Structure 1
Amino acid sequence: MAPHERRDDLIRTALRVFARRPPGEVTPEEIAEAADVSRALVYRYFPNMAELRREALEQATSELLRELVPPKDLPPLEQLRSSLVRFVAFADSYSPAYVALLRGGSVIATEETEAEIDRVRSGVLELILDRIGARSPSPLIVLALRCWISAVETAVMLWLQERGRTAEELADWLLGQLVAMLLASGAPEEELRALVAHADPSV
């Protein structure tokens, strides 16, 4: 393989391993075995596991942000539901890594990994505002959405540990939380009122 291809292959291999085991417990030897290369070759491209974890997270984050973009031909609420289902599925596919990243005190939670998580949060916020047509949202609306994004992260983490309902049920419940939070925030924008009315005919 060319150097850039080998590097990409090691990152993809790391992601496959991280889907099975918490990244903080994975050793260079495990990556080497999974990639069918020597331990020395892993160190040639990544001098330590922290760098490999960081680059793997960066790639996974970019893939997630692309995956979350829903079809535009769906109603706004269905677009958000589609993105929620995809997010839950993505977190499920990397369950050990997702839980380790969000759990307080995790050895893999660093300033760099937090920056990548913030990139996802900002991307999700922009996506929601765009798809519900909120071009000049009030500070209260933005606060409600940020709080909801945080609630989604925590709810999905707990779901991965407990599995008390299906992924679809979880997505529907989270969508209901979003509607409730937007209602509580006042939702002065006409577009947001239309979104809430679509979910609740009594509004």
Structure 2
Amino acid sequence: MAPHERREDLIRTALGVFALRPPGEVTPEDIAEAADVSRALVYRYFPNMARLRREALEQAMSELLERLVPPAGLPPREQLRGSLVRFVEFADSYSPAYVALLRGGSVIATEETEAEIDRVRTGVLELLLDRVGPRPPSPPVLMALRCWISVVETAVMLWLRERGRTAEELADWLLDQLVAMVLAAGAPEEGLSALTSRG
């Protein structure tokens, strides 16, 4: 296996392990065993677990941003709903890592991981601005959008624990919260008609 392929394989292996266990509990030995390689080989590519966790997170966040881009041609509500469902499914597939990243005081919640999470938040904000408008948003509307992103993160974390509804039902509830929040922030109601219509 070429060096770049081996590195990619170790990152993929790490993501698979992080889908089952909190990343802070995973050791290089765990990665080596899952990849069927020696511990020394893991250390050849990643001098410590912090580096491996960071690179795995970077790759996962890039993949998430790609998934969140909705297909063109759908009504705005369906675009956002589809992106929300994909976000919930992504969080579900990496449930231990998702919870660990967002939980305060986690051993893996570093400045670098926070920067990666902020990269996704910025991408989500741009996606919202393209569909909620107008640009530039007023300061209250911009604050409402940023707060709604935090609501999504927290709601998904609670959903992972309680499973009281389907991912689709959660997405519809979150969209209703979005509309309520931006209306309360002063966004014109006529501009949100595409988000309030359920087809």
TM-score for the superposition, normalised by structure 1: 0.94
1:134 aligns with 2:134: yes
Distance 1:56 1:134 in 2: 36
List aligned pairs for 1:67-82, cutoff 5 A.
67-82=67-82
CA RMSD, 1 decimal? 1.4
1:85 aligns with 2:85: yes
Distance 1:118 1:198 in 2: 25
Give, in angstroms, the shift of residue 139 of structure 1. Answer: 1.0
List aligned pairs for 1:170-185, cutoff 5 A.
170-185=170-185
1:193 aligns with 2:190: yes
Kept after mapping to 2: 8 A contact 1:121/1:149: yes
Distance 1:59 1:134 in 2: 32
Identify unmatched segments of 5+ residues in structure 1. Answer: none
What residue identity is the alignment partner of 1:193?
E
Give, in angstroms, the shift of residue 165 of structure 1. Answer: 1.3
Distance 2:78 2:197 in 1: 14
Q: Deviations over 1:100-145 (max 9, x none)?
A: 0001110000000000000000000011111334322111111000
Secondary structure of the corresponding residue to residue 192 of structure 2: helix
Q: Deviations over 1:33-61 (max 9, x none)?
A: 11111000000000100000000000000
Kept after mapping to 2: 8 A contact 1:57/1:113: yes
Kept after mapping to 1: 8 A contact 2:76/2:194: no
Q: Deviations over 1:13-35 (max 9, x none)?
A: 00000001000001111100111
Kept after mapping to 2: 8 A contact 1:179/1:196: no
Give, in angstroms, the shift of residue 64 of structure 1. Answer: 0.3
List aligned pairs for 1:7-156, cutoff 5 A.
7-156=7-156
What residue identity is the alignment partner of 1:45?
Y
Kept after mapping to 2: 8 A contact 1:77/1:195: no
Kept after mapping to 2: 8 A contact 1:183/1:196: no
What residue identity is the alignment partner of 2:176?
G
TM-score for the superposition, normalised by structure 2: 0.95
Identify unmatched segments of 5+ residues in structure 2. Answer: none
Distance 1:43 1:198 in 2: 49
Secondary structure of the corresponding residue to residue 9 of structure 1: helix
What corresponds to 1:160 in structure 2? 160
Report the CA distance shift for 1:5/1:198 in structure 2 as closer, same or farther (over 3 A): closer
Distance 1:193 1:136 in 2: 17
Q: Which runs of 4+ in 1 moved over 2 A?
A: 131-135, 192-198
% identical aligned pairs: 82
What corresponds to 2:4 in structure 1? 4
Count of equivalent residues: 198
Q: Deviations over 1:74-125 (max 9, x none)?
A: 1111111110000000000000000000011100000000000000000000
Comparing 164-173 with 91-100, greater Cα deviation is found at 164-173
